[in-house]
Amino acid sequence: MYLAERSWMTEEHEVLRDTVEKFIVAQITPYYEEWEAAGIVPREVWEKLGSCGLLSPDIPERYGGAGGSFTHLAVILNEFARHGYAVFAGSMLGVHSGIANHYILNHGSKEQKQRYLPSMASGETVTAIAMTEPAAGSDLQGVQTVAEREGNGYIINGAKTFISNGQNCDTVIVVAKTDRSVAGSRGISLLMVDANSDGFTRGRNLEKIGLHCADTSELFFDNVRVEGDALLGTEHGGFSVLMNELPRERLTLAIGSLGAIEGALNWTVEYIRERQAFGQALSSFQNTRFKVAEMMTEARALRSFIDDCIASLSVGALDSATASMAKLKSTEAQGEIVDSCLQLFGGYGYMREFPISRAFVDARVQRIYGGTSEIMKEIIARDLLGR
Ligand SMILES: Cc1cc2nc3c(=O)[nH]c(=O)nc-3n(C[C@H](O)[C@H](O)[C@H](O)COP(=O)(O)OP(=O)(O)OC[C@H]3O[C@@H](n4cnc5c(N)ncnc54)[C@H](O)[C@@H]3O)c2cc1C
């Protein structure tokens, strides 16, 4: 078996990895098909994740977290993806534990940290981040949701789409225009909206080609009033919060891709050793051997790059262009490798009962969300060549 050991992993990380694996075996695998059919993971799963300490591994203990570092989060995300549950790595935990709680930790007021972080760690509060709109995805500066000042608070109007955790969430971090008189990024703010607010409604739980049990939703804001203390960071300063947190967001997605690659390779190596054709194991054909050798080499090289990025992020030194390279490289490699692995399964690879088929459909979105591959290339090129 090709295991997910890392040069930086200590005994403590191994214990965490083991905890995640046990959680998956007991709490995920037996129910997963049911959830895929339902299009959502039951709400109580969040509380189970919280009670096992899997929701806020790198949030300080005073806010209910485990007090670890980004490496602990990396172990959790990698492990879910490696076992074929990319939905946890990329969508559910990716957003709640990988991004939202760090927006609050790094940019929230003392009150916001106390109000949200402990209940996010326990799974009592599930969080979504609503940036994308029907007419604004890559072009985030084009958001049309508005939050207009009224007294001490804001009135929010607008519509969001493709929002992960959209059905299960209790709180949404909303990207809205607070100053329409200035162009682009300057008039954008982040607001914490509780899902029981008047005027907030959830739209469809969208049907997708993969990540079937991820609740990816439309959200609507119709004169939703929030108080001034709902502002996360400074007024009109939302864009810089988003930019500050992007390296972390992109690296979490890259870690999920690497985990998915490792899982796919594990299943494939096992399968080609067993499966016979023309009186011999598939693993004896030169094409199969070379293909697996190439894929493993790619995975190992990728692993070194990702480990390097994890080390940089852990000391606050991961720049946006390098994080974009990590996301670009790992998600593109995931697409190619998972496709090649599926090919080695032949017809069985196309059958839902084989996890490689799910890994194939779940992989596709990695090149789209969290910034598309084309946007990653733009960022890298801009860093090298300027605008
Ligand atoms: C399953 C899923 C979950 C998601 N979860 C969330 C979430 O939780 N929160 C959230 O806010 N959003 C979420 N998204 C939205 C996601 O981040 C966007 O779909 C993504 O950023 C792309 O935006 P878009 O769909 O509007 O595509 P568009 O921006 O319309 O892009 C269409 C195509 O044009 C290309 N393109 C656009 N601009 C350029 C350019 N300047 N140069 C070159 N090519 C360009 C793109 O690369 C792409 O190929 C999710 C999406 C999916 C599918």
Q: How far is the CA of 371 from the centre of ligand 1 (A)?
A: 6
Residue type, 327: K
DSSP 5: -
Q: Is the pLDDT of residue 208 over 80?
A: yes
Contact 129, 162 (CB under 8 A): no
Which atom of ligand 1 is nearest to 211's Cα? Answer: 1
State which of 68, 94, 125 marks the end of a domain.
Answer: 125
**pLDDT score at 185:** 86
In a domain, 310, yes or no: yes
Active site residue 148: no
| Average pLDDT value over all residues in the chain | 96
Report yes or no: 187 and 177 within 8 Å, Cβ to Cβ: yes
CATH of the domain at 50: 1.10.540.10
pLDDT exceeds 90 at position 387:
no
What spacing in Å lies between the alpha carbon of 373 and ligand 1's midpoint? 10
Measured from CB, residues less than 6 Å from any atom of ligand 1 are 95, 128-132, 137-138, 162-164, 208, 211, 216, 365, 368-369, 371-372, 374-375, 378
Q: What 3-state DSSP class applies to 370?
A: coil
Between the alpha carbon of residue 218 and those of residues 165, 200, 247, 253, 348, the distances in Å are 10, 11, 26, 22, 35
Which residue lies with its CA nearest to atom 17 of ligand 1?
A: 369
The predicted-structure confidence for 67-105, as pLDDT tens digits, reads as follows 999 999 999 999 999 999 999 999 999 999 999 999 999
Q: Could you tell me the distance, in angstroms and rounded to a whole number, from the CA of residue 343 to the centre of ligand 1?
A: 28
Residue 84 Rama label (left phi>0; alpha psi -120 to 50; beta) = left
Ligand 1 pocket mutation pick from 369, 377, 380 by most atoms within 8 angstroms of CB: 369
Expressed in angstroms and rounded, the spacing between residue 355 Cα and the centre of ligand 1 is 27
1 occurs within a structural domain: no
Nearest CA owner, ligand 1 atom 4: 162
- What pLDDT is recorded for position 4? 59
Residue 2 clears pLDDT 70, i.e. is over it: no
Tell me the average pLDDT across 38-45. 98
Q: Would residue 292 count as lying in a domain?
A: yes
Q: Does one domain contain both 56 and 193? A: no
For residue 222, name the pLDDT band (cuts at 50, 70, 90).
Answer: very high
What pTM did the predictor assign? 0.97
Band (7; pLDDT cuts 50, 70, 90): confident
- 7, burial (CB in 10 Å: exposed 0-12, middle 13-18, buried 19+): exposed
| Domain encompassing residue 258 | 240-385
- Beta carbons of 277 and 344 less than 8 angstroms apart: no
Are residues 149 and 84 both part of a single domain?
Answer: no
Return phi, psi of residue 237, to 5°: -100, 15
Contact 327, 251 (CB under 8 A): yes
Average pLDDT of the segment spanning 189-199: 98
Give the Cα separation of 379 and 377 in Å (integer): 5
State which ligand 1 atom lies nearest to the alpha carbon of 136.
Answer: 26
Is residue 279 domain-resident? yes
Q: How many structural domains does the chain have?
A: 3
Ligand 1 centre distance from Cα of residue 314 (Å): 27
Residues 270 and 374 in one domain: yes
For range 140-153, the mean pLDDT? 96
**DSSP string covering 316-357:** T---HHHHHHHHHHHHHHHHHHHHHHHHHTGGGGGSTTSHHH
Q: Which atom of ligand 1 is nearest to the CA of 165?
A: 8
Q: Say whether both 251 and 371 belong to one domain.
A: yes
- pLDDT of residue 3 exceeding 70, the answer is no
Claim to verify: residue 230 and residue 246 sit in the same structural domain: no
Selecting among 79, 133, 249, 262, the annotated active-site residue is 249
Which of 127, 131, 162, 250 most suits a substitution to test ligand 1, by most atoms within 8 Å of the C-beta?
A: 162
- Indicate which residue's Cα is closest to atom 29 of ligand 1: 138
**Same domain, yes or no: 257 and 372:** yes
Q: Which sign does the torsion angle of CA 93, 94, 95, 97 carry?
A: positive
Judge whether residue 1 has pLDDT over 80: no
Examine the fold and report which residue of 201, 236, 271 is the final residue of a domain before the chain moves on. Answer: 236
pLDDT above 90: residue 184: no
Name the percent of the chain lying above pLDDT 90.
97
Q: Please tell me the number of Cα atoms within 13 Å of 328 on its side-chain side.
A: 15
Check residue 6 and give its pLDDT: 78
**In angstroms, what is the span from residue 372 Cα to ligand 1's centroid?**
6
For 259-284, what is each residue's pLDDT tens digit?
999 999 999 999 999 999 999 999 99
pLDDT one-digit tens code per residue, 104-136? 999 999 999 999 999 999 999 999 999 999 999
- Domain check: are 117 and 140 in the same one? no
